């Protein structure tokens, strides 16, 4: 990584001229369990990755923003008074949405030249967009006298995606990116925004992320459809449970008694997923605390099956990866992670089995789908921050 950081400083200087450069980072995330629960006010259990988005920044004084990415050909230039969504500007709309939020919060916004670079595979469901928004927020708020808190920035990223980009996502992705801690997962209650870090003592096991190499084309429309279904199902459920304030707060027992209030079998399946998934998150935390990795792995598998059968967001590729993974000795847990319809799975694999796991899953996946699976050995890293001199050295292993 060090090489890439130095290369980015050089690239920044080539692009914008010599002078001081500050560096900021916001990680991507993997969700270990608790999928499609955040927008119902339930529990999630994500962790920040060491992969993410960097921003090299130099402040300006004229209120102008120039944004360039090493990944995409087209950049953007605008002033703080003309921050508008422009479809043709693609990726740059994410930082723009964040700048709009900062402006609305009263930030001074003196302007900046920014060069973005990153090592998250785009479109893999590892939160490249949340990390792009958050790194912009962290970098630009470093120039302000009155700095927003990390929680403020996290909420701004979510609002920017909801209002500026038009994606109705929940709070999980920016929260994991902002509050991550190396070696820990985050147990977050998404309505109360209460959280704590849980040490990931995985012993001889490793977390492997596998990318299906499939574009998540249905993700957006189906995502919004699932959100609607949850709202509708919950509305019906409340006939039996009038005191319930949100779906995330409905426990399994109450559900057993009240589920007949939901007339449509399709909506019943959606709600059954959310309610059982919330319970699995809490059980996972207990299993990890007790050092029972096999139990945690079983909960991961149950989560995938529920996302496949009840929530119907997996699809052929994610299911092929899951089915191949759980047959390999040494793999004790697997599930899709993120919104679904493509993207990645996360797998819990004994370190001695990693090599055979990669080979067997790769072969079987290719035989079934004609696609090459991409494997990412992950480390769980810290949340968004400014990168100081010297910290770069820690990244050499990447």
Residues near ligand GLA, by CB under 6 A: 31, 35-36, 38-39, 169-170, 172-173, 338-339
Cβ contact 348:331 at 8 Å: yes
Question: In whole angstroms, how close is the CB of 116 to ligand GLA at the nearest point?
Answer: 20
- 392 annotated as a binding-site residue: no
16 marked as binding residue:
no
Q: Are 2 and 395 a contacting pair, CB within 8 Å?
A: yes
* Residues forming beta bridges with residue 205, ordered by sequence position: 350
Q: What angle (nearest 5°) sits at the alpha carbon of residue 45, between those of residues 44 and 48?
A: 120
Cα–Cα distance measured from residue 46 to residue 29, given in angstroms and rounded to the nearest whole number: 7
Nearer to ligand GLA, 36 or 184 (CB): 36
Q: How far is the CB of 103 from ligand GLA (least distance, A)?
A: 24
Please identify, using beta-carbon distances, which residue of 157 and 237 lies nearer to ligand GLA.
157
Between the CA of residue 225 and those of 235, 270, 319, 337, what are the distances in Å? 15, 11, 21, 18
Q: Which of 113, 145, 173, 292 is catalytic?
A: 173
CA distance 230 to 36: 10
- Helix residue spans in the chain (DSSP H): 2-16, 93-104, 128-141, 150-159, 172-179, 219-237, 252-258, 265-289, 293-309, 316-327, 354-369
Nearer CB in complex with ligand GLA: 133/333: 133
The Cα-based distances of 397 to 56, 177, 379 in angstroms read: 21, 21, 10
Nearest distance from C-beta of residue 352 to ligand GLA, angstroms: 31
Beta carbon of residue 106, minimum distance to ligand GLA (angstroms, whole number): 27
Our CB check for ligand GLA shows the closer of 155 and 364 to be 155
What the block records as the tokens of 128 is 């490249």
Task: Establish whether 323 is a catalytic residue.
Answer: no
Is residue 35 marked as binding?
yes
Who contacts 193 (Cβ-Cβ below 8 Å, separation ≥6)?
A: 151, 171, 175
* Nearest distance from C-beta of residue 336 to ligand GLA, angstroms: 10
Asked if residue 379 belongs to a known ligand binding site, the reply is no
Is 128 one of the annotated binding-site residues?
A: yes
Contact 43, 248 (CB under 8 A): yes
Closest CA to 200 of 326, 352, 333, 32: 32
Nearer to ligand GLA, 225 or 260 (CB): 225
Task: Note the residue count of the chain.
Answer: 398
Say if residue 260 carries a ligand binding annotation.
Answer: no
Catalytically annotated residues: 173
Binding-site members for substrate are: 35-38, 223
């Amino acid at each position: 990584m060090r090489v890439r950081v130095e290369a980015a400083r050089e690239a920044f200087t080539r692009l914008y001229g010599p002078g001081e450069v500050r560096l900021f980072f916001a990680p991507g995330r993997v969700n270990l369990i608790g999928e499609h629960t955040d927008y119902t006010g339930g529990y999630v259990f994500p962790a920040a990755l060491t992969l993410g988005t960097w921003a090299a920044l130099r402040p300006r004084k004229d209120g102008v923003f120039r944004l360039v990415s090493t990944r995409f050909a087209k950049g953007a230039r605008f002033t703080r008074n003309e921050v508008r969504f422009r479809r043709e500007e693609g990726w740059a709309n994410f930082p723009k949405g964040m700048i709009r939020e900062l402006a609305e919060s009263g930030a001074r916004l003196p302007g900046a030249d920014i060069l973005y670079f990153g090592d998250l595979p785009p479109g893999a469901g590892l939160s490249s967009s949340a990390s792009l928004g958050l790194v912009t927020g962290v970098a630009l708020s470093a120039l302000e006298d009155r700095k927003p808190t990390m929680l403020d920035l996290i909420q701004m990223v979510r609002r920017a995606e909801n209002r500026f980009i038009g994606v109705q996502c929940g709070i999980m992705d920016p929260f994991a990116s902002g509050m991550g801690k190396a070696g820990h997962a985050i147990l977050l209650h998404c309505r109360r925004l209460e959280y704590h870090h849980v040490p990931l003592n995985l012993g001889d096991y490793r977390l492997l992320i596998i990318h299906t190499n499939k574009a998540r084309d249905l993700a957006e429309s189906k995502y919004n459809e699932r959100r609607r279904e949850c709202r509708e199902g919950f509305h019906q459920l409340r006939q039996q449970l009038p005191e319930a304030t949100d779906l995330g707060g409905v426990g399994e027992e109450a559900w057993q008694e009240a589920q007949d209030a939901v007339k449509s079998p399709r909506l019943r399946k959606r709600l059954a997923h959310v309610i059982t998934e919330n319970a699995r998150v809490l059980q996972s935390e207990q299993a990890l605390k007790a050092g029972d990795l096999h139990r945690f792995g079983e909960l991961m598998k149950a989560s995938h099956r529920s996302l496949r059968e009840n929530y119907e967001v997996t699809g052929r590729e994610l299911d092929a990866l899951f089915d191949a993974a759980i047959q390999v000795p040494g793999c004790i847990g697997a599930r899709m992670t993120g919104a679904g319809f493509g993207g990645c799975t996360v797998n819990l694999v004994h370190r001695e089995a990693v090599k055979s796991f990669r080979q067997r899953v790769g072969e079987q996946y290719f035989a079934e789908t004609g696609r090459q699976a991409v494997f990412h050995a992950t480390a769980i890293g810290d949340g968004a921050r400014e990168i100081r001199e010297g910290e770069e050295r820690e990244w050499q292993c990447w």
